[in-house]
Structure 1
Amino acid sequence: MERQIPKNVRQIGNVSDSPKIYVEDYVDTFFAQLSDKYRNDPQKPLGAFLIGDFQTYEGEDYVYIYGAIQMQELRVSGMEYLIDDETWKRAYEECKQFFEEGELIGWFVVRDDAEKAPGNSTVKLHKKSFPKKNTVFIICDPQEKEETYYVHKMNDLMEIGGHYTYYEKNPCMQDYMISSRKKNGAVQTEVVEDKAAQNFRDLARKQGRRTRQKHQGNFVYAMSVGLVLVLVIMGVAMLNNFNKIRKAQNQIEEVAGTINTVKDSDNSGSSNEGNDPNGGQADGSEDGTADENTGAENENSTAGDDADQGKTDSAANKNTDTEKSNSASDKKAEGDDGTSKNGTDGTASANSSQAKNSQSDEVVEASAVPSSSTNGSDGVYVVEKGDTLAIISKKMYGDVTHIDAICRMNGLSNGNLIYIGQKLLLP
């Protein structure tokens, strides 16, 4: 059966030699029990047969020892060990009973006066009993509680510097230790199980602590990275907000400047009332033209409305008739006197004519400018008296931000050049 290399292991000694030897923790506990038993009654040595298997992985040899069966009897003659047939028979029976497919791969001896290294007789016995390569022989010193491992290779027993103790569930060895507790010196089953379990739990706790420490380190690292990211995002957001605030402040300043400009324009328009319509403010005062009749006629013709033009023509004709009438009156007055003069009668006539012409101009202006309630509702605004582009924008849109749009819509290069009756397309 192919095995996976154990993960939960404890290294003992130098493990650089080959093969790599792995001893299960219950087996190691069983060796300790035999050592304690020998110290209590050191009359004769104690021995055990090793049960396990051999594996090769990536060119490296491995020996796994997962069971041990105590020898019924181990005799010593000088430095020579003797194992009788009855002991071998009993070992095979117990191996089959408790370990089923297990194989005897070596042996274990505990004694005070054990030789420091296997002698020729020991090597000969091992090669006869366990002829396979990499079989194991273990000598235990009960006083020092030290174990020395030897491996059969190169036709001899070669010492191995160290081995591994590994931990896993081993019900076969547990069952054997329970059944033979009276022989191996274990007082209660719980003692055997607790010791092995305690070793395993201790190792598991150590690995758990390392795992938790590693997880805590990863968590702290992740939290640090997250905190740095949050700070970076907050910094970017603050920078964006600062730029937005600065942009809004600039827009407010621009609007404030525009409002101040409009106020200045309104004040200028009020102070310049009566100027020529081409001077920047639409005004209907009589002083803005040299010839009132001709000025009214020019304003109404510029508005571009046929109906208004007709009214203007009518007003002009009336003014012409009025002039003729005044001229006739002057002639009549002159005929009566017999001379041409600029006396009181002539002056009165001129004033009368001027009043009539002024009334005629007011009629024309009233006809050219629609009422404020309907002006601009159809998308066309007719310039009224006192209008500026800022005033028109505020009338139509409630603010002064549409001055440039009105100029662009009507092709005005100078927004101050508008006149009464001019039609402006509203954007």
Structure 2
Amino acid sequence: MRAENQLPKNIRQIGGPVGTTKVYIEDFVVTFLKALTTDKNTFVRGAILFGEKKSIDNETVIFIRGAVEGQNIELDLDETVFDDKVWREIYQKKERFFPDLEVIGWALSRMGFSVRLNDKIKKTHFENFPGDGKVLYMTDHLEGEDAFYVYRGQDLVRQSGYYIYYEKNPMMQEYLIERNQKLKEAVSYETMLEAKRDEKIVRQFRTIVQEKQKSSRTKVMMKRLSSSAAMLLVLILAGGMFYYSRLDNSSSFGDAIHGAVETMGKGVKDNVSMEEENKESGTTTKQLPTSTEKADGTEAGTTADKKKTETGTTAATASTQKSAQSMARSRTYVVKKGDSLVSISRRMYGSRKYMYKILDANKIGPKEHIYPGQKLIIPSITK
């Protein structure tokens, strides 16, 4: 039988094939391998190739008609294992989708590592794909390179070119349909899990905020009670000393007043220290009149009130301006299919921890879900 009657007619030549060994790979297989190499989830991808080897007019012709994903090759080659379990799964897929073909070789994509061989790649091939005519197809999507190697003469020899041919390939189409369906199911399942994780994180965040608010209110109340108790104790001590000084003739009234003043001074000092602590934590405590204020508190109190009012007005104005600037820098994001609060936070801020800002800005409850087409306010953050 003439060679032209056995070779595919609808072909496309890649490179300049020469020599007595020719490689033909079917278009569906090429499309599948390119989809694997452009997957951004990992830099190393692999596949097992199925086909047949023929001798036509004293030439060795290798036909590659099918391929399945080799998930065990997604690790570094030092960790890639072709044990009995892996081979059993490979042959199960072969019998299901490509029963009339044989394992003809493998494909390897390593982004950024070119298509040159090294000792690890050769060792993997020799141990798992021995025999003349077994092929290795290497690609580097980052560099835009690919190459075929054929085992011949105890070594892997690089081909100067190969052929892509076009024909109906129901076996490969069936495998691709089932694989794509499983990928869709996996994505849907992962989306559901991520939504549940988001909901759990939101609930935990709400609980933590509530506990912190409750703890803060308790601390403020305890500080106020402590301050009031200290002032009351000072007054009781001063009154007691005055009373006993009237009863005890050996103690003069001046000594009693002196002791009361010292005791009261200590109480005032403690109260002032407590007020400074309260200022640092965001709370204020009313001060006792100082010696520079008038007895009725009119002039000095008016001046202090003016300063306090001016300070408060300035702070409020600055806060309003800052809030207005922050709102001006806020953005709007339209939710897309497959989005989650975590993924949106990562996309807009570069970190998942700002998802709570998005929750608060949009008043989203812990049990609420986002949906495609929903518009979310993306608040600005000050890092």
Same fold flag (TM > 0.5): no
Q: TM-score, normalised by structure 2?
A: 0.44
* Structure of higher CA gyration radius: 1
